[in-house]
Structure 1
Amino acid sequence: MPKTLKNVIKFVCFFGIGVLLIWLFTRNINAAEWDQIKVALRKANYWLLIPTMTIGIASHWFRAVRWKLLMKPLGHQPTTLNTFFAVMVGYLANLAVPRLGEVTRCGLLAQYEKVPADKLVGTMIAERAVDLVCLILLMILTVVTQLDLLGSLVNETVLQPISNKIAHANGMQLLTGIIILAVILVVLGWLLRRFARSKIAITVKGLIRGITEGFLSIGKMEKKKKVWFIIHSVLIWSCYLSQVYIGFFCLQETSHLGISAALAVLMIGSVGMIVMPGGIGAYQPLVQKTLEIYSIPSAIGFAFGWIIWVAQTMLVILLGFVSLVALPIYNKKKEAVPVTP
């Protein structure tokens, strides 16, 4: 099957799932709630989306700079603009096809900055791992500071399902899984040794080596660079938090909510972004359910979720297309600048 056709099928499937989730969620909204949603959207202060989206741009810029820090220990220093453009085009691609963005941004930076793609994949994996750690720390902070409000929610949606799954899992299933994984690793190792000189084996080993080097690039950073890496990670998530907090002031009904509520929305909303590409069909209901904990009517929470989601998505689409056009233009001009001896 052609790669393009596969991507189209993926896009249609995930878009269809997103639309289905939206329909399942909205079909139970009654006429009175729809009226509330329309009034809230009509009265919303959309001018506040300008600082929200500006902070969004800053978060993407900090992400590009942080990614650059991971490349320096590997001996590569791409320009910040090229890195930023690649990140934004990657986000745009992710809206179309899940996980295509990671491949796209690595491919673009490899093309324009001559950085080995396999090493870029490793740095990207390291970056995702750091973001996962940040999200887990955010969850812990949010729950600990609001245990009375969120304790039961986390127990029902996270802890209880995990404990049930562990309780129903037997030793034989665990042993079978370990054996299968061990067999796969042994067979893969044998194939790589048996056909060590084949083109495929050399490519696979090179890819594994590149990914490993990229992933371990955090440990190879200078002490000063590690500090800046942590600072940029904090800045990225602070921007995400600020977007939600400022967004509260778009609606009169949510304007009284504070940082605690913004932390909870960011935590649960991030899960929605992970579950579905771009959060379509998942972000809005999760945000609504979260805001209900803070006594916000479901219709208002629904409207708020859509306002924030549309603003973030439109920003990605706009910056993604601008970056796609700017990449060849910027690099053509860069090549035209004479090198000073």
Structure 2
Amino acid sequence: MPKSLKNVIKFICFFGIGVLLIWLVTKDLSPKEWEMMKEAFQRANYWLVIPAIILGIASHWFRATRWKLLMKPLGHQPTTLNTFFAVMVGYLANLAVPRLGEVTRCGILAQYEKIPADKLVGTMIAERAVDMVCLILLMAITVLTQVDVLGAYVNKEILIPMGNKFANANFLQLSLLLLGAAAGIGLIVWLLRRFARSKAAITIKNLARGVMEGILSIGKMENKWAFIIQSLLIWGCYLSQVYIGFYCLQETTHLGISAALAVLVIGSIGMIVTPGGIGAYQTLVQKTLELYGINKVIGFAFGWIIWVVQTLLVIVLGFVSLIALPIYNRKRIQQQELQPVTEN
């Protein structure tokens, strides 16, 4: 099956899940509730979208500069603009197919900055691992500081279902799973040794070596504090976006930073589940705000406002980056070619 067709099928499946979630949330809304949602959108203070957009751009910029820090130990220093453009095009690709953007941004930077793609993949994996650690830490902080509000919800919706899955898996199933994983790893190792001099084996080894170098680059950074600070700035921008968003609707203006943290953490899970979080993000935000006494209609409307702002920003910056990449790099090459002449 062609790769492009696989991507189309993936997009249709994930997009279908998002549409299904939206339908499940809205199918039982009464005419009065629909009217409430319409009024909420009409009464929203959309001027606050401006600072939210500025914070969104800042978060993407910090992500680009943080990514550059991981490349420096590998001996590569791409321009900040190329890195930023690559990040934005990657986000745009993620709207179509989840995780496609990670490959896309590595490919773009490899093309324009002549950096080995395998090393870029390693730095991207390291970066995503750090983001996952940040999300887990924020989730722990959110739950521990708001046990009265979120404790029962997390226990019911996350811990109990996970516990049931492990409980239902008997010893034989777990043993077969471990044996299958061990057999798969053993087969790969045997094939690499058996065909060690083949072109495919050499390519796989070089890719694995490059990925490992990229992952280990996080431990070789000279300025680790800059990496930590920029990670905090990225998540700080995300949190500030949600907090400012509370002031868009009159019904959510009383919510504080604790509620914003809960929306950020639980909403982030929704952004992972479906392309761009469509359906899942709005649903999880609605469920989260209900825990703080917000009407489900208002919560759903709030989720849509935040999601639309974030998504439109990615779409606009993504397409602008696609157009700007060849123009910027053509001018950069011309300047580099003229530089020796100018010096003489």
Give me the TM-score of the superposition, normalised by structure 2.
Answer: 0.97
Q: Partners of 1:202 and 1:113 in 2: how far apart?
A: 24
3-state SS in 2 of match to 1:77: coil
Matches within 5 A, 1:47-196: 47-196=47-196
Alignment correspondent of 1:309? 307
Alignment correspondent of 1:25? 25
Q: Partners of 1:318 and 1:12 in 2: how far apart?
A: 22
State the one-letter code of the partner of 1:194: R
Give deviations 1:197-223, integer Å, cap 9, x for gaps. Answer: 11100111111111111111111112x
Which of 311, 314, 318 aligns to 1:320? It is 318
State the one-letter code of the partner of 1:333: K
1:231 aligns with 2:229: yes
2:37·2:301 contact (CA, 8 Å) conserved in 1? yes
Q: Partners of 1:184 and 1:7 in 2: how far apart?
A: 26
Q: Partners of 1:107 and 1:339 in 2: how far apart?
A: 28
3-state SS in 2 of match to 1:7: helix
State the one-letter code of the partner of 1:33: E
Runs of 4+ in 1 over 6 A off after TM superposition: none
Higher deviation after alignment, 291-300 or 158-167: 158-167
Q: CA deviation at 1:3?
A: 2.1
Q: CA deviation at 1:146?
A: 0.7
State the one-letter code of the partner of 1:257: L
Q: Partners of 1:314 and 1:301 in 2: how far apart?
A: 20
State the one-letter code of the partner of 1:14: F
Q: Partners of 2:41 and 2:205 in 1: how far apart?
A: 54
Q: CA deviation at 1:6?
A: 2.0
2:243·2:260 contact (CA, 8 Å) conserved in 1? yes
2:239·2:260 contact (CA, 8 Å) conserved in 1? yes
Q: Partners of 2:159 and 2:303 in 1: how far apart?
A: 25
State the one-letter code of the partner of 2:22: I
3-state SS in 2 of match to 1:216: helix
Give me the TM-score of the superposition, normalised by structure 1.
Answer: 0.97
Higher deviation after alignment, 314-323 or 28-37: 28-37
Give deviations 1:94-133, integer Å, cap 9, x for gaps. Answer: 1012221111100000000001000111111111110000
3-state SS in 1 of match to 2:317: helix
Alignment correspondent of 1:267? 265
Alignment correspondent of 1:205? 205
Unmatched runs of 5 consecutive residues or more in structure 1 = none
Q: Partners of 1:250 and 1:65 in 2: how far apart?
A: 30
Higher deviation after alignment, 331-340 or 267-276: 331-340
Alignment correspondent of 2:248? 250
3-state SS in 2 of match to 1:257: coil
3-state SS in 1 of match to 2:339: coil
2:270·2:277 contact (CA, 8 Å) conserved in 1? yes
Matches within 5 A, 1:5-44: 5-44=5-44
Q: Partners of 1:31 and 1:298 in 2: how far apart?
A: 14
2:285·2:299 contact (CA, 8 Å) conserved in 1? yes
Q: Partners of 1:128 and 1:49 in 2: how far apart?
A: 27
Unmatched runs of 5 consecutive residues or more in structure 2 = none
Q: CA deviation at 1:5?
A: 2.0
3-state SS in 2 of match to 1:295: coil
Q: Could you say what the CA RMSD is over the residues aligned between the two structures, in angstroms?
A: 1.0
3-state SS in 2 of match to 1:249: helix
State the one-letter code of the partner of 2:257: I
State the one-letter code of the partner of 1:339: Q
Q: Partners of 2:10 and 2:161 in 1: how far apart?
A: 29
State the one-letter code of the partner of 2:306: I
Give deviations 1:37-92, integer Å, cap 9, x for gaps. Answer: 01110010001001001100000000001110010111111011000000000000
Q: Partners of 1:273 and 1:15 in 2: how far apart?
A: 12
Q: Partners of 2:200 and 2:339 in 1: how far apart?
A: 39
Q: CA deviation at 1:169?
A: 2.1
State the one-letter code of the partner of 1:282: A
Give deviations 1:177-213, integer Å, cap 9, x for gaps. Answer: 1111111111111111111111100111111111111
Q: CA deviation at 1:170?
A: 2.0
Q: CA deviation at 1:326?
A: 0.4
Q: Partners of 2:15 and 2:139 in 1: how far apart?
A: 28
State the one-letter code of the partner of 2:314: V
